[in-house]
Amino acid sequence: MPHNDSDLARMRWDIFCNVVDNYGDIGVCWRLARQLAGEHRLAVRLWVDDVQSFVRLCPEADARLDMQQCLGVEVRRWAEPFADVVPADVVIDGFGCALPSVYLTAMARQTPRPVWFNLEYLSAEPWVNDCHGLPSPRPEPGLVRYFFFPGFTAGTGGLLREAGLLERRDALRADGAAQTAFWAAFGMPVPQPSALKVSLFCYENDNIPPLLDGWAGGERDVLCMVPEGRVLPQVSAWSGRCLVAGDVYMRGRLEIRVLPFVEQTCYDELLWLCDINVVRGEDSFVRAQWAATPMVWHIYPQDDMAHIGKLSAFLDLYESGLEPADALMLRRFWEAWNHGEGAADIWPAFAAMLGRLSSHAEQWCTALSAGVGGSLSANLVDFSGRIRESSDPNFER
């Protein structure tokens, strides 16, 4: 049965985000909320338990307010006791966060029942294809939660990508005046074309000091942009100074510039204008792929080392199309980076293949944008519409 677009447009959406640490969870939820509201014209409420963290991603927001409108999204403070509200038609719990009990009770009483998604973490592991879209009956009467997995392949939920994103990227790269204005906003001149421009946004990593040593003593100028974050104390310790946003530190062939924490659109532009991007977690990892430049992924570390298997699963996909020697070198560097040792020794060989990695990154981005997995937001809208039209309470994709 085809979807009734007018009915879909009237559906209200609630997204719940529990900010555990860093900004990955709220980063993904905020991008999704903006896209659902802006591109799909849906009424979206974003429930956030840490509004202060949200304000860093959306500077126009006010951390003192319990309810506010931000870029077409109603942003609500998630606090206890939870507000007495009517549940939305579609409910998303971001990354398995536990919904408020009073909200669950209200969902169970609602007719028709809300469509409920657990938005899972991004993974390239093969089992994701089998679990994406499966229903999970809940103890609450009549409620079913569906697992929704972002991913890189057909059969997953796809990736977040705003309409026109790649066109805006290409326009910035072709516009010298716009680039000058971008760097000027950070108080920086336009970088020299000969310098290797690196963005460094990662977790704490013992590879940092030896790698900075190597860049400082290398044969090529390196301009390293370090946004405020968890790695900055290590960079500061290496420099012997307490570096803060706006600081510039130079040693040998290396220039370090500390950037303030920026909102998401500005961070995207930084990735577009760098030659290589060191990224972490999920949100910046995906954005680096849309930048279509070489990248190094610092996956979120887990105590049981499960993250290494997830890293390998992505590399199995990402290496496709590379020459075997380049694929091996890429894997060696990424694994050294994530194990916290040895990356500086591999860097010269890794840097020597950046030209080929750049071509590969463009090909990878083109393949992703061609719709193998599709748009995460569009897939959510489509799946929720099909569930609402189905009479089967355990509807499967």
**Whole domain around residue 292: which residue ranges?**
165-369
Q: Is residue 396 part of a domain?
A: no
pLDDT band at 124; cut points 50, 70, 90 = very high
- How much is the pLDDT for 9? 62
Q: Tell whether the model's pLDDT for residue 16 goes beyond 80.
A: yes
> Average per-residue pLDDT in the chain?
93
pLDDT band at 394; cut points 50, 70, 90 = low
Q: Is residue 394 part of a domain?
A: no
Place of tokens 């860097």: 347
Q: Is residue 395 part of a domain?
A: no
For β-strands 67-70 and 90-94, DSSP reports them as unpaired
Query: Are 196 and 329 members of one domain?
Result: yes
Query: What does the alpha-carbon distance between residue 371 and residue 278 come to, in Å, rounded to a whole number?
Result: 25
Query: Are 196 and 149 members of one domain?
Result: no
Q: Is residue 236 part of a domain?
A: yes
pLDDT band at 388; cut points 50, 70, 90 = confident
pLDDT band at 2; cut points 50, 70, 90 = very low
Q: Is residue 38 part of a domain?
A: yes
Query: Are 180 and 59 members of one domain?
Result: no
> 301 is written with which tokens?
């570390």
Residue 264 DSSP SS3? helix
Q: Is residue 310 part of a domain?
A: yes
Percent of the chain with pLDDT strictly greater than 90: 84
Beta bridge partners of 322: none
Query: Are 24 and 11 members of one domain?
Result: yes
Query: Are 349 and 377 members of one domain?
Result: no
Query: Are 141 and 238 members of one domain?
Result: no
Query: Are 355 and 328 members of one domain?
Result: yes
Query: Are 171 and 317 members of one domain?
Result: yes
| Segment 364-391 mean pLDDT | 87
| Segment 245-254 mean pLDDT | 97
Q: What is the dihedral of CA 279, 281, 286, 289, to 10 degrees?
A: 30
Q: Is residue 397 part of a domain?
A: no
The angle subtended at Cα 10 by Cα 9 and Cα 12, nearest 5°, is: 105
Query: What does the alpha-carbon distance between residue 201 and residue 222 come to, in Å, rounded to a whole number?
Result: 16
> Using one digit for the tens of pLDDT, what is the confidence trace for 152-203?
988 899 999 999 999 999 999 999 999 999 999 999 999 999 999 999 999 9
Query: Are 181 and 132 members of one domain?
Result: no
Q: How many domains does the chain have?
A: 2
Query: Are 326 and 225 members of one domain?
Result: yes
| Segment 360-369 mean pLDDT | 95
Query: Are 128 and 214 members of one domain?
Result: no
- How much is the pLDDT for 1? 37
> Using one digit for the tens of pLDDT, what is the confidence trace for 288-323?
999 999 999 999 887 777 789 899 999 999 999 999
CATH number, domain of 209, equals 3.40.50.2000
- How much is the pLDDT for 391? 56
> 152 is written with which tokens?
């890189």
Query: Are 90 and 205 members of one domain?
Result: no
Q: Tell whether the model's pLDDT for residue 22 goes beyond 70.
A: no
Residues marked as catalytic = 25, 282
CATH number, domain of 118, equals 3.40.50
Residue 363 DSSP SS3? helix
Query: What does the alpha-carbon distance between residue 224 and residue 202 come to, in Å, rounded to a whole number?
Result: 13
